[in-house]
Amino acid sequence: MSLPVDVVATVEAELQKSSPPLSMWNSIVQVLKQSKLAWTAALRADCMLVHPANRGGMGVNPHACHAKAASLMKTGWDASFLHSSFCFEVSDDPAVRQAQFSFNQEIVSQSAGLLGAVGQHERHLSVSAGHTSQFVKAAAHGCKTSEATLADSTGKLNVQALCEDAEFKKLLQDGWTWTVVANSVEKQWPQLPKLAERALNASNTTFSGPNELELCLYLVDRSKGETTNLQDVAAEATQGGPLHQYAKHLATWVTQFSNQASFLNFLVPFSKQYGQNVNLGEDFWTSLVMNLPEQYPCLRLAFLACNFTSHRVSNGYARLLLKSDVEKLKNKKLQSLGLEAEELLYKAWNRIEASLPSSAKNFGILCLRICLHVVDKEKMGREAKTYASLAAIYSEFEADFAASAPPAAKSSPAASSTSAPLVALGEAYDPLWLAQQKMKLKKGLLYTYDEGLWRLVDLSSDKLVLEAAGLFQTGQAEIATSDCLKLLKPNKSPAPFILKTSDALANHPSRSLQAESKQADLWTMLLAAAEKLEKKVFDMVGIEAISKKLYTKQKIKAGELLLVPVTDTASKVTFQAPGSSQKHAALEDNEGNMFFVLPPKALKLASDFSLMTGSTAPFWYVPHDDDDGNLHFKAVQFRSCYIYCLTNPKGIEKHTELSCRGSWHIRQPVSKKARTKQ
């Protein structure tokens, strides 16, 4: 059935938004309900299966179903907590439908009788409230239980005792309200069940607490189709939760040590079948990922399998293996035993991988036995059985595996290909990969080796090729990749080298500072010009200290007064023209090049606390652009330059204020004939 065009457009628009998962899901459900593609209905648990997208493809953990129920029996059942129960219709596509039923049959077959059988009559697939619905279904089927408080004398669920809680009896007999989404919606948007699962199970912690394996599966799912920083994804997914502080270590395990996520094809079914929905905790994960040597990917898996199925649990955390057990492998005395264990586990993995999940039990028992043997805790395991050697453990695995003859592999939620850079098992034994986990190895980078400086020019699993990069150092060197961590040290400084002659000359002060030298020459020339041309200037003129105006102190003959634009630092003789409104003077060299002189610091009178500062060069106290001005510009030659000075073309009476008819705006050289600017 094709969906209405407007519905498709609206949902597509919602999916393109960057809304939080729950907000996005609620908006989409609203649209679907308005178009009758989603509706509410009272459904019994025995018509409910688990959607294959539930909890990252894990479905439900049978032990968690019963543990949750045991907890609720203590507090009392309340249907109002199930208000966020959502499900999808079973697909009408025969192939998809078969896959959905097979997924549930696999969960039931691995539950050791804890879950109700798949009856082929079920029509709905839960994406939330899965653990609750499957427990109620188990009660309806009279299944066994792993919780002593729920069991009758035969070890099965005591339905009569359960139904003494009226609310549970109602859930069992009448069901509860679900929001149902049409299968045509999932056909149009196959990603919606995953969105629903993320939104609903993340927000509804009453059904099950945060689960480390679910997070790992979620990270694998997010790694598909795009290159993703899984540490950022993990931090975002666990924000505000107890996993947040160490989620980055789970992301590192998925990226570097999960054999491109295929280890989860074993770990998920094995932990569901024999585990209790436990977490391992921050200390254990930190030590497993950060402190265990990189060459132990399979031994890491064995530690996880052993603890995820631990029979020693406290407050929801496995306590069979601890941080201290993991760190025993750092002891050099255990190094040979650890390498032997890794080799046997790798050999066994290659035997069983193709037949997962059927072979999960055989490989899981091998993991438990090898792990407990290595850390010397065999007597604390479920079997409490000790072995003389790792070889003896492996021989028993070979015999058991051959006898079980597992069938061909079935599809698994983590078996899909990924495009994010998840490390394959073969890479985890590669000396180059192992070295790169501890040191940045890249062509072109510098390293110190054998008291010299070297540049890495080639690298492989066998060897690194180095080229001399030290001063006056030549040649190449080769070292084994496996030894590089001991022999090389990264060098962050650039390689030393002798400057080229041309570069050295170009930056020598005698050449590079020629402009500054020219400035200095012109400035000293101005000082000399003022000294020579302004003789007895303060006998003729005076500066009024308050208004900073310039007045004649005596009668001055025509051309007798000459004011030079001297300034106080060489840096104020510039090659770039200042703004037209900025006060300045000008001078011209014998090649016709213009230079500009900026005014010195203004005069500041002395006080009781400071001396007088600033310049008293008279030139700068003459206002310009006065139509009645009594001073004009005149280009006066001094040495090899022409300086635009101020002079009086006519006589000036005593006590007359001085001003200039010309403008500060001097841009073009004057001609050689006319030296005065009117």
> 115 and 234 share a domain?
no
Query: Angle at CA 248, nearest 5°, toward 242 and 252?
Result: 140
Whether 502 maps to a domain, the answer reads no
**One domain for residues 11 and 145:** yes
Predicted pLDDT at 408: 52
CA distance 641 to 440: 63
Give the rounded distance of the alpha carbon of 69 from its chain centre.
39
341 in the same domain as 225 = yes
Considering the domain boundaries, does residue 510 fall inside one?
Answer: no
Q: Enter the tokens of residue 581.
A: 């409104």
Cα angle 360, 364, 365; round to 5: 125
Structure tokens at 236: 């975002």
What are the residues facing 637 on neighbouring strands?
A: 642
Do residues 391 and 453 both lie within one domain? no
The per-residue pLDDT for 358 is 87
* Same-domain status, 300 and 403: yes
What local confidence, expressed as pLDDT, does residue 677 receive? 38
Closest residue by Cα to residue 129 from 90, 177, 187, 194: 177
277 in Cβ contact with 207 (< 8 Å)? no
What are the C-alpha distances in Å from 584 to residues 130, 406, 544, 565, 649? 85, 97, 21, 8, 21
pLDDT at 21 (0 to 100): 86
Co-location of 546 and 646 in the same domain: yes
Residue-wise pLDDT for 590-648, tens only, equals 888 899 999 999 999 999 899 999 999 999 999 988 888 999 999 999 998 999 999 99
Identify whether 497 is part of a domain: no
- Assign residue 142 a region (left: φ > 0; alpha: ψ between -120 and 50; beta: otherwise): left
Q: What is the pLDDT of residues 153-168, one digit of tens each?
A: 999 999 999 999 999 9
Residue-level pLDDT at 674: 42
pLDDT of residue 398: 93
Same domain for 376 and 278: yes
- The verdict on residue 594 lying in a domain is yes
Same domain, 329 and 228: yes
What sign has the CA pseudo-torsion 346, 347, 353, 354?
Answer: positive
pTM of the model: 0.57
- Based on the domain organization, do 175 and 218 belong to the same domain? no
Picking from 439, 458, 491, the residue at the C-terminal end of a domain is 491
- Of 523, 599, 618, 600, the C-alpha closest to 561 is 618
Amino acid at 219: L
Domain that holds residue 445: 430-491
Residue 382 confidence (pLDDT): 85
Distances (CA, A) of 229 to 219, 232, 251, 286, 297: 10, 6, 9, 19, 21
Q: Which of 154, 168, 164, 96 is CA-nearest to residue 125?
A: 96
- For residues 179 and 327, membership in a common domain is answered with no
Question: Per the structure block, which two tokens stand in for 631?
Answer: 């001073």
Please compute, for residue 678, the number of CA atoms within 13 A of its CA located in the half-sphere on the CB side: 1
- For residues 596 and 652, state if they share a domain: yes
Looking at residue 377, its amino acid is K
Give the 3-state secondary structure of residue 455.
strand
Tell me the residue type at 616: T
> Could you tell me if 249 and 215 are in contact, meaning their C-beta atoms sit under 8 angstroms apart?
no
Task: Extract the residue ranges of the chain whose pLDDT is less than 70.
Answer: 1, 201-210, 225-228, 276, 405-421, 665-678
Length of the chain: 678
Whether the Cβ atoms of residue 655 and residue 544 lie closer than 8 Å to each other: no
Helix pair 264-274, 360-374: axis angle to 10 deg: 90
Measured in whole angstroms, the distance separating CA 344 from the mean position of its chain's CA atoms is: 36
Q: Which pLDDT score, from 0 to 100, does residue 205 have?
A: 44
3-state secondary structure string across 550-564: EEECCCECCCCCEEC
In a domain, residue 646? The reply is: yes
Considering its fold, how many domains does the chain have in total?
4
> Which residues on neighbouring strands pair with residue 549, listed in sequence order?
544
